[in-house]
Amino acid sequence: MPVTHFPISVADAATYTVDPDNSGLVHYMPDLTATCTITLPTPQTGLWFEFAYIGAAADAQNWIISTGSNTNYYKGGVIHMDADAGAGTDELVPVRSNGSSNAKLTVVTPDVGTRVRIECADGTHWNVVGHVVSTTVPTMADLP
């Protein structure tokens, strides 16, 4: 019998703490009623999580994906895909971590097609890749 891994349906809430036991599962993000701060677990080599937006239209809220510490910063980045193409000059834009302290990824008002994958390969840092569909460019920053 094949092993079945059930995806995670994230509740509409202001905070969500990622369970390390859910590594390897897609976390489906709903159309939120408030900005949601998603906190990753303590990094461990081999953990990975994917977040996918499943709303029917652009969300009016943001995802803030926090590593919990500037020591456990992001490496890599995401591609911003401009949802109001033709209205500006930047249609596809890479959004990069500074590779030394950025521990917060803010996905601003995601639209359908948004998918972000976060992986730990070294036990300390989080690698981030994916694409964010939105009229607003996501940001990478340090935690306060």
Residues contacting residue 110 through CB under 8 Å, at least 6 positions apart: 29, 53, 55, 58, 59, 62, 63, 132, 133, 134
Rg (CA), the chain: 15
Range of the domain at 78: 8-141
In Å, how far are 38, 43, 47, 70, 85 from 113, measured between CA atoms? Answer: 19, 27, 23, 28, 15
CB 104 within 8 A of CB 67: yes
Domain membership flag for residue 109: yes
With CA atoms as reference, report the closest residue to 126 among 74, 86, 62, 82.
Answer: 74
With respect to residue 2, please indicate whether it lies within any of the assigned structural domains: no
The count of domains in the chain is: 1
Look at residue 128 and tell me if it is in a domain.
Answer: yes
DSSP state of 73: -
1 domain residue, yes or no:
no
Whether 15 is in a domain gets the answer yes
| pTM assigned to the model | 0.93
Residue 79 lies inside a defined structural domain of this protein: yes
Domain-located, residue 102: yes
Quick one: pLDDT at residue 12?
97
**59-118 tens-digit pLDDT:** 999 999 999 999 999 999 999 999 886 666 668 999 999 999 999 999 999 999 999 999
- Is 3 domain-assigned? no
